[in-house]
Structure 1
Amino acid sequence: MDPLIQVTPPGPRARAVLERDAGVVSQSMVRAYPLVIERAEGTNLWDVDGNRYLDFTAGISVMNVGWNHPAVVGAVREQVGRLSHAAFLDFCAEVPVRFAEELVGMLPAGLDRVYFSNSGAETVEAALKLARHHTKRKYFISFYGGFHGRTYGALSLTAAKVIQRKHFGPFLPVVHAPYPDPYRPLCPCSGDECALDAIRYIKEEIFRTEVSPEEVAAIVVEPVQGEGGYIVPPRLFLRALRDLCDEHGILLVADEVQSGCYRTGRFLASEHSGVVPDIVCLAKALGGGLPLGVTVASDEVMTWPPGSHASTFGGNCAACAAGLAVLSVMREKGFGERVTETGEHLIAGLQGLMERHRIIGDVRGIGLMAAIELVRDRGTKEPAREERNEILKRAFEAGLTLLPAGESAIRFSPPLTIRPAEIDAGLAILDRAMEGY
């Protein structure tokens, strides 16, 4: 349904809830605008004042099969009536086992062993511990602009915003490398040369001046950077990174927490490059709105012994039942192809906006993981952060929910079930919100 704004947001009920929130809830979160959600369905959100919004966020890429998908809701209701928590670390239950079987059947060959947790950050923590245990090495390499979570190991990898790290160190021994950004390359290069330049930096700078490759347990990478700005690297990048890891016995960890679950048209974004990581981290969309994360590796890599790592709620039956329903929807014929087609429609619409608004410096994306980067001048590429925030506010007040990314980008990550007509409706709102820019 199209947006319906009956009360200028935030309305009186929303303001009352936000006031109570400010009095009792940690204010460590950053909220893009004052939205207080009451219910949701498909691609629509309703706030507590009765306003209806068209959603282009999917709850930060969580509701990939749509808000409150009936199959997910039904599976959770049925499972909770029978058993929600099975203490999977001490006992066993069939639902998590069945989920693991279904999941590995959708992954590239070799990714066949599943560790259960509850969030993206937990899947990354497990990946770090597993990499250290398997290689007996202690260092990691990750990338500037990357976001991997806020727990200590995940935060050690993260290098997106200084506020996320300020006063929390010291961190794990992580060395950061530049991520190949075709819009803002390190040197005057493009395409595959941009990717190879990033690999050269690791070889010629990091391995020469900071850490020897035989001390590196893993390189952790987002196949498409999420919080850093929805940056799509050249396809050669992951292939070259895979070769570099193989050369030095380093594990390649793909953080697919945001890019996985068909967000890019493939179940894993790394599949676009023909690369199979040693370890994959998945969460967000996997549970259809319930906390569910998995760290997946091969039998050869996941050899840690009983008692070495576990989670009280990992393998929660209610979450795994939701996950089974999500996987069932994603296995429907043509699901990934529809995401690809709808994504192409979205990119075409964003390129049309770029022709009308000079503040848009770049349009990028793959599948339904897309972004526009706003700049004050296309020549200098000076970020337009304040303008971006104002545009987000205008869109919200008109009934379109969007989220920021990077320094001055707007991300587009709607439910994967969104229709082209809904994309057109949302872009029309955004077009009006960008008037004067």
Structure 2
Amino acid sequence: MTSSQPSGPGSHLSNVWSKVTDLQVVRGQGCRVYDANDHSYLDFTAGIAAASTGHCHPKVVQAISDQAHRFVHAQANVYQHDLLEPVAARLAGLTPESIDTFFFSNSSDEILEAAVKLARHATGRHDIITFDGAFHGRTLLTLAMSTSRAIDREGYGPFPGGVHVAPFPDPHASDQESEITRALRGLDRLFATQIPANEVAAIIIEPVIGERGYIPTPAAFIEGLGERCRENGILFVADETQSGFGRTGKMFAIEAHDIEPDILCMAKGIASGFPFAALGTRRAHDDKWRPGSHGGSSNGTPIGCAAALATMEVLTEPGFLDNVVARGTQLIDALRDLQQLDDALLHVRGRGLMVAVEFDSAERASAVVEHCLAENNVILMTAGTRKRTVRWMPPLIVTSEEISEAVSAFAAAIRATS
């Protein structure tokens, strides 16, 4: 049973948001949300991978409550509150060794824009390279960097200049080695024909491509990008706004690769969905970021810092990431077993609890997601340029029983819609 959100002439809400469901929820607990009639729904969207510790984790709730009684808004340009340095120090201990200096903001879009601004100051260059199928945000600059779906960009141009889109390896190519070589050659051709490498400030990539359909970036491709960055003085920027903070079974997905990023972009899971984001970089780069040239009214808010500290405490508890790996393995294995039910289920891929299944059509993917919600109260959502992919991103606290419950609903939906 579902509970619809009020609509009609009396509503004052914008219609610009797309809707995964029509649910009107009133509370959340762990991996479940509840509607006004107290019906429970298993939430395998986690606020689009943001609710890393689940809904209303007691440690996060307590930290937010305690901080709200002390200080709600302490503007960093005017005075600095006592959680700024602790969050930076905690991040310094969790991020790759190359990252030791941090700037805070409120959202992934803001932090990606900050990364571009820092890269331009640090290098004295202005051009940026992103990759086909990437999604980095919805501001004009981050939309210029995003090519996962035309609808996100339609009607909003012209976009800021200085952004160049390079090829990304086709994950479905049978010969992956040749495909990676092709994509890297495409980048080299871009250097030769459009923008010289010595004029590029940064290469920005998601270690797991998000909105295109949860596609792990091949290790050899990332290594090739790293080589080109080192050879040409280009900063390597890892966009971990969706893949970071345990989502792939490691604290950061870039840890699976032999590369030290110059800039690390973090958001979503960093504070269990509370609006908070961080940019991590090398001190040498930050020293070139001119004081006063960037900032914001709500950067590093006290409550956001409290939520981030509590979230990191939960994520670093002994065995936490081991459970993420175990639950991810359980999920991927179960979904691959389901491929035997229907030839329309083409691909299963993922790392940790950042998992995707791809169908042969958008209509089938949508029908399966709708059946899971209507018949079994399991919330999933689609992704991908063609909307053929169903992505699985439950809270990282998900249990074995909850994985089984969701997979059973998915299996029933496959049978019912075939």
TM-score range, shorter chain: over 0.9
CA distance in 1, matches of 2:16, 2:409: 30
Matched, 1:124 2:112: yes
Residue 406 of structure 2 is matched in structure 1 by 426
Residue 378 of structure 1 is matched in structure 2 by none
Residue 36 of structure 1 is matched in structure 2 by 24
Conserved 8 A contact 1:181-1:233:
no
| Counterpart code for 1:228 | R
Matched, 1:161 2:138: no
Conserved 8 A contact 2:98-2:261:
no
Cα deviation code 1:66-120 (max 9, x no counterpart) = 1100000000000000111111122111112111111111111120110110000
| 2:405 match: secondary structure | helix
Alignment RMSD:
1.4
Percent identity of the aligned residues? 36
Conserved 8 A contact 2:167-2:184:
no
Higher mean C-alpha displacement, 77-86 vs 43-52:
43-52
Residue 84 of structure 2 is matched in structure 1 by 96
Matched, 1:335 2:294: no
| Counterpart code for 1:385 | A
Conserved 8 A contact 1:252-1:279:
yes
| Counterpart code for 1:144 | D
CA distance in 1, matches of 2:43, 2:275: 21
Shift of 1:403: 1.2
Shift of 1:331: 1.2
Cα deviation code 1:108-160 (max 9, x no counterpart) = 11201101100000000000000111111111110111110011221110111
Matched, 1:347 2:332: yes
Conserved 8 A contact 1:138-1:216:
yes
Residue 75 of structure 2 is matched in structure 1 by 87
CA distance in 2, matches of 1:136, 1:98: 31
CA distance in 2, matches of 1:108, 1:18: 47
Alignment of 1:25-424 (within 5 A): 25-172=13-160, 173-183=162-172, 185=173, 189-190=175-176, 192-203=177-188, 205-303=189-287, 304-375=289-360, 384-397=361-374, 398-406=376-384, 407=386, 408-424=388-404
CA distance in 1, matches of 2:38, 2:57: 21
CA distance in 1, matches of 2:300, 2:159: 29
Conserved 8 A contact 1:144-1:178:
yes
Shift of 1:227: 0.8
CA distance in 2, matches of 1:107, 1:180: 27
| 1:146 match: secondary structure | coil
CA distance in 2, matches of 1:425, 1:338: 17
Conserved 8 A contact 1:89-1:314:
no
Unaligned 5+ segments in structure 2 are none
Shift of 1:297: 0.2
Conserved 8 A contact 1:374-1:409:
yes
Cα deviation code 1:18-61 (max 9, x no counterpart) = 447x8322222211221221110001111123221111111111
Q: What TM-score comes out, normalization by structure 2 length? A: 0.96
Unaligned 5+ segments in structure 1 are 1-7, 376-383
Query: How many aligned positions are there?
Result: 412
| Counterpart code for 1:431 | A
Q: What TM-score comes out, normalization by structure 1 length? A: 0.92
Shift of 1:415: 0.6
Shift of 1:249: 0.9
